[in-house]
Structure 1
Amino acid sequence: MNEGSTGPRRLGSIVGALVAPTSLVTGLLYYFGYYHAYWFFAYFGVNSTVLDFSTADYLRRSLDALWVPMTVTAAVGLLAFWGHDLLRGRLTAEAPPQVLQYAVPTLTGVGFLLALGGFWSTLTETFLSRILALAPLSLSVGVTLLAYALHLRRAVAAAPPHPPPAAVDPSGDDAGSPGSDPDSVGTTDDDTASSTRLAPAARPEWAALVEWAVVFVLIGLGLVWAANDYAASVGESRARTFVAQIADYPSAVLYSERSLSISAPGVRETRCHDPKAAYAYRYDGLTLILRSGNQYVLLPYQWTRADGVALVVPQSDSVRLEFGPPPNLRAVAQNPMC
Structure 2
Amino acid sequence: MVGSLLSLFTAVLFYFGWASTDAETKALGLRDTVFHLSTSDYLLRSVDALFLPAWLGTAVVFAAIGVHRWGRRGAPGVAWTLRVGRHAWVVPFLLLPLYRLAADAFDLALPLVTIVGFLLTAFARTWPSDTTVVQAPPVRAQHLRVWCVALLVSVLSLFWAVSTYAGIVGRGRADQTARTVRAGLPAVVVFSEKDLLIRGGGSCDFRVPVKDSAYRYRYAGLRLFHIAGDRVFVVPRDWSPQHGTLYELEQSDSVRIDYVSGGNERKDECSP
Task: Specify if TM > 0.5.
Answer: yes
The counterpart of 1:308, out of the listed 238, 244, 250, is 244
Worse-matched range after superposition: 295-304 or 24-33:
24-33
Q: Does 1:112 align with 2:47?
A: no
Give structure 1 stretches of 5+ with no counterpart. Answer: 1-11, 92-96, 161-197
The alignment yields a C-alpha RMSD, in angstroms, of: 3.2
Please state whether the residue corresponding to 1:260 is helix, strand or coil.
Answer: coil
Call closer, same or farther: CA 1:264–1:84 in 2, change over 3 Å.
farther
Contact persistence 2:221–2:236 (CA under 8 A):
yes
Helix, strand or coil at the partner of 1:73: helix
1:223 matched to 2:198? The reply is no
User: SS at 2:242's partner residue?
Assistant: coil
Aligned to 2:172: 237
Instruction: Specify the code of the residue in structure 2 equivalent to 1:37.
Output: T
User: 1:9 is matched with which residue?
Assistant: none
**2:111 equivalent in structure 1:** 136
Matches within 5 A, 1:1-338: 12=1, 22-90=6-74, 97=76, 99-100=77-78, 102-115=80-93, 117=95, 125=100, 127-131=102-106, 133-152=108-127, 155-156=128-129, 158=130, 203=138, 205-246=140-181, 247-274=183-210, 276-327=212-263, 329-332=265-268, 335-336=271-272
Q: Which structure has the larger Rg over C-alpha atoms?
A: 1
Q: Structure 2: how far apart are the matches of 1:132 and 1:228?
A: 10
- Looking at structure 1, the residues matched to 233 and 269 of structure 2 have their Cα atoms a distance apart, in angstroms, of 25
AA at the equivalent of 1:232:
G
What is the aligned residue count?
271
Task: Report the CA distance between 1:309 and its aligned residue.
Answer: 3.1
CA distance in 1, matches of 2:149, 2:70: 27
| Segment drifting more, 60-69 vs 274-283 | 274-283
**How far, CA to CA, are the matches of 1:276 and 1:199 in structure 2?**
88
The 2-side partners of 1:104 and 1:207 are apart by 17
C-alpha contact 1:128 1:135 (8 A) present in aligned 2: no
**Alignment partners' CA distance in 2, 1:207 and 1:151:** 9
What do the CA deviations read for 1:92-118 (whole angstroms, capped 9, x no partner)? xxxxx4x35643443345541225546
SS at match of 1:287: strand
What is the SS of the residue equivalent to 2:151?
helix
Larger CA deviation: 53-62 vs 72-81? 53-62
The superposition leaves residues 235-262 of structure 1 with CA deviations (integer Å, 9 ceiling, x where unpaired) of 3322323343441443101222222223
Structure 1's 132 and 302: CA in aligned 2 closer, same or farther, altered over 3 A? farther
- SS of alignment partner, residue 46 of structure 2: helix
TM-score by length of 2: 0.82
| 2:247 aligned partner, one-letter code | L
With normalisation by structure 1, the TM-score equals 0.68
